[in-house]
Chain A
Amino acid sequence: MKKPGVVSLLWSIPMNLLVYPMIALWTLLGIFALPFLFGLCKIFTRWDNGRIMRLLIWFYGRGWVAITSPFVKFSREGFDKVATGRPYVMVINHLSFFDFYCMGLLPFPLGNIAAAVRSWPFKMPWYAPFMRLAGYLDVESLGAAGYLRIGAKILSGGGSVLFFPEGHRSKDGKIQRFFSGAFKLSEETGAKILPLCLTGTDVLLPPGRWWMLPAKVRLTALPPVDPGDFDGPSAHMELKKHTKAMMTEKVAAMRGL
C-alpha cells in the first residue's frame, strides 16, 4: 500500500480525535434509543422484528458513514442497474473492520440485510443482542446446514443475506479464495447473487491498525448473477468462479491496476 502523504497524516489527527468519540456516542445513542425506535417501527410498519432490526442497523451504518464523511469521500455506483425490490445473496470483498458499516451506503430498499459472519462479532456485547435479533448468521457456530436453512428463511421473508466470501480481510487488497456458502445458498434458493466491490477501506482502516487515515471509499454493484444459469452438481462452484472473476476484474479496475 502507498505511504500516506503529510497532508493525509496531519488531517488524520483531527479525524481520529473526532470520529472515535462520535462513533462511541452514536453507538450509545443507538443502544438507548433502540427500544423507542423499535416500538415506533413496530406500530407503524407491522414488520417482523428481524426486518425492523436489520433496517435500524442499516441506519446505524449510515450514521457511521455520515460521521466519517468529513474525512472520507464516499461514492457508490452501479445500483441504477439493480432491481432493489427483491432479496439477494450479496457478496462483498473484505478489506477492513469498517466494511460492514459501509453497507449504510446501500440504497434504502437494499438495507434489509442479515450478515453471515464468523463468531467473533457475536462476542461484542454491545452488538451481539442486536445481531441476534436481526437474524444475523454465525456461520462458525451454525455450520453449513444451519446457516443455509436460516439464510433461506430470511430470503423467503424478503431479506437479503450478505456474505464476505473470502472469510477474512485481505492484507494486500487483492481478492482471496472464495468459500462456497453464499453460492450454495443462491443455488438452493434461486436468489440472485449481487456482487459488491469495495475499495478504499483498506486505506481508511486496514487490518492490524486502529489509526484511521483519510480515504476515498467506493462501493460498486455489479449486475446480479442468476444461479439458474449454472446447473449440475458443481453449479454452485461454477457460480462462485464466475462471480469471483467478475469481482476480481472490477476491484483491480477500481484500484487502478
Chain B
Amino acid sequence: MTDEKIIEIINTSLAEEFELDSEKMVPEAILYDDLGLDSLDRVDTVIVLEHAFKFKIRDEGAVREIITLGDIHRFVINKIRDLGVTQSAQPQG
C-alpha cells in the first residue's frame, strides 16, 4: 500500500467517525485545537485506526506523542512498515 493510500484511508476514516471538515484535514492540523478532538477522541482514534488497518495498537510511546494529523499519518505508515501489513484495508462504513 502506498503512503498516499494510507493517508487517504486515515483521513476518510477519521473524517467519517468525527464528522470533520475535509478541508481542515491537513498534516499540520493540531488534533485538539484545529480539529476540535478531545481526550476521549484520542482513544476512539486508536479504535478507528485498528479497525481500518486491521492491526492492534498497544500503549506505545509514539501514540502518546501524537499532536497533529501528520503525526498520525507518520505513526501508521511506520507501523505498517514495521508489521509488514499488506492486507487491503478499507475505511469504516
Chain A residues engaging chain B, CB cutoff 8 angstroms: 143-144, 167, 176-177, 179-181, 184, 233-234, 237
Q: Given contacts A177-B19, A181-B38, A237-B44, could you give 20 more A-B pairs where the C-beta distance is less than 8 Å?
A: A143-B39, A144-B38, A144-B39, A167-B38, A176-B19, A177-B18, A179-B38, A179-B40, A179-B41, A180-B38, A180-B40, A180-B41, A180-B43, A181-B40, A233-B47, A234-B44, A234-B47, A234-B51, A237-B17, A237-B47
Q: Please give, as numbers and ranges, the residues of chain B lying within 8 Å of A176 by CB-CB distance.
A: 19
**Cβ-closest chain B residue relative to A148:** B40
Q: In whole angstroms, how far apart are the Cα atoms of A184 and B47 in the complex?
A: 13
Q: Please give, as numbers and ranges, the residues of chain B lying within 8 Å of A184 by CB-CB distance.
A: 40
Q: Please give, as numbers and ranges, the residues of chain A lying within 8 Å of B51 by CB-CB distance.
A: 234
User: Would you call the interface of chain A mostly helix, strand, loop, or mixed?
Assistant: loop
Q: In whole angstroms, how far apart are the Cα atoms of A143 and B50 in the complex?
A: 24
Q: In whole angstroms, how far apart are the Cα atoms of A177 and B21 in the complex?
A: 11
A151 to chain B, nearest CB (A): 12
Chain B residues engaging chain A, CB cutoff 8 angstroms: 17-19, 38-41, 43-44, 47, 50-51
**Cβ-closest chain A residue relative to B92:** A234
**Cβ-closest chain A residue relative to B17:** A237
B34 to chain A, nearest CB (A): 15
Q: Please give, as numbers and ranges, the residues of chain A lying within 8 Å of B18 by CB-CB distance.
A: 177
Given contacts A144-B38, A144-B39, contact A180 B44 (CB under 8 A): yes
**Cβ-closest chain B residue relative to A184:** B40
User: Contact at B17–A144, with CB atoms within 8 Å?
Assistant: no
15 contacts between A and B (CB under 8 A): A143-B39, A144-B38, A144-B43, A177-B18, A179-B40, A180-B40, A180-B41, A180-B43, A180-B44, A181-B38, A233-B47, A234-B44, A234-B47, A237-B17, A237-B44
